[in-house]
Amino acid sequence: MTMYQMPKGRINGVILDWAGTAVDFGSKAPAAVFVALFKSEGIEISSQQARSGMGLMKKDHLRKILSLEDVHQKWMKEKGADVTAQDIDRLFEDFIPLQSQTIADHAIPIPGLFDTLEFLRGKQIKIGTTTGYLRQMMDILVPRAAELGYHPDSIVCPDEVPAGRPYPWMCYRNAINLDVYPMSSMVKVGDTTVDIEEGINAGMWTVGLAATGNLLGLGEEEYFSLSIEDREKLLIPARQTLIDAGAHYVIDGIWDLANVINTIQG
């Protein structure tokens, strides 16, 4: 764990990301859909390129992928013209049903989620969530996650506020929904750099997750089948990426969050 200065004290609320943090070990759903979307356009992109904008609202995520030099050049070669706003609108419209079709299959809770929720409830800490998914996507994911036992107190999507991450608006809306203040008594938890930026911009504690989300991109079985030595080789740069983004703490997975909360509360 790595810490920067914030006023320690009572924590009243925790805001969790969804994919790669609470559910969908490895944040598989968005990456797979973007790869398939570009393939339908005659453009091959890697999983790493598909993950380049992870955590952003999905239209912004799409823009981020298209801004990559290699992807941009492939687009120009395939289409014979530069990317237009109309292209982005069309691709995004195609993306929505593709993501909606697969999202329920990636609702499996990440190990340690329920123990962590029990710990938070026991401390009377309220639980909010933010995401890069639109509300219509969450309307599919949330019921499936609920069937599996995950029931956060608040869910805010980027199309319900003026802008998604890294802007703080989803965190502020959660604070209102949860009736929690000040923002410094809240902790933002996520697996991407924009999760960290979102929390910092909202004036919150931030906790980055190195193992279970976008930075490694490994499924649960893939990750736990690695030797401890091989995991560490992958985790060192992932942790550093989150530290460089400004995370107050970096842990491997949500299973370690209780230790962070106890440290902050003293």
Top CATH class of 13-27+107-265 equals alpha beta
Does the pLDDT of residue 54 top 80, yes or no? no
In percent, the amount of the chain with pLDDT more than 70 equals 98
CA nearest neighbour of 157 among 190, 189, 175, 135: 135
Does the pLDDT of residue 3 top 70, yes or no? no
Does the pLDDT of residue 100 top 70, yes or no? yes
**Better-scored residue on pLDDT, 158 or 32:** 158
Which range, of 50-54, 154-158, 167-171, averages the lowest pLDDT? 50-54
Which residues lie below 8 Å from residue 37, measured CB to CB, with a gap of 6+? 91, 94, 95, 98
Instruction: Say what the pLDDT of residue 13 is.
Output: 98
Give the residue numbers annotated as catalytic, written as ranges.
Answer: 17, 58
20-33: pLDDT as tens digits: 999 999 998 878 88
What Cα–Cα distance (Å) separates residue 70 from each residue in 45, 46, 81, 180, 216?
9, 10, 15, 44, 21
Q: What is the mean pLDDT of the chain?
A: 92
Q: What band does 5 get if pLDDT is binned at 50, 70 and 90?
A: low
Segments of the chain assigned to CATH 1.10.150.240: 29-105
Residue 215 and residue 237: Cα distance in Å, rounded?
A: 9
Instruction: Say what the pLDDT of residue 61 is.
Output: 86
pTM of the model: 0.86
Q: What band does 266 get if pLDDT is binned at 50, 70 and 90?
A: confident
> Helix (H, G, I), strand (E, B), or coil: what is residue 162?
coil
- CATH no. for 29-105: 1.10.150.240
6-19: pLDDT as tens digits: 778 899 999 999 99
Segments of the chain assigned to CATH 3.40.50.1000: 13-27+107-265
Does the pLDDT of residue 171 top 90, yes or no? yes
Residue 196 and residue 130: Cα distance in Å, rounded?
A: 12
Q: What band does 1 get if pLDDT is binned at 50, 70 and 90?
A: very low
Rg (CA), the chain: 18
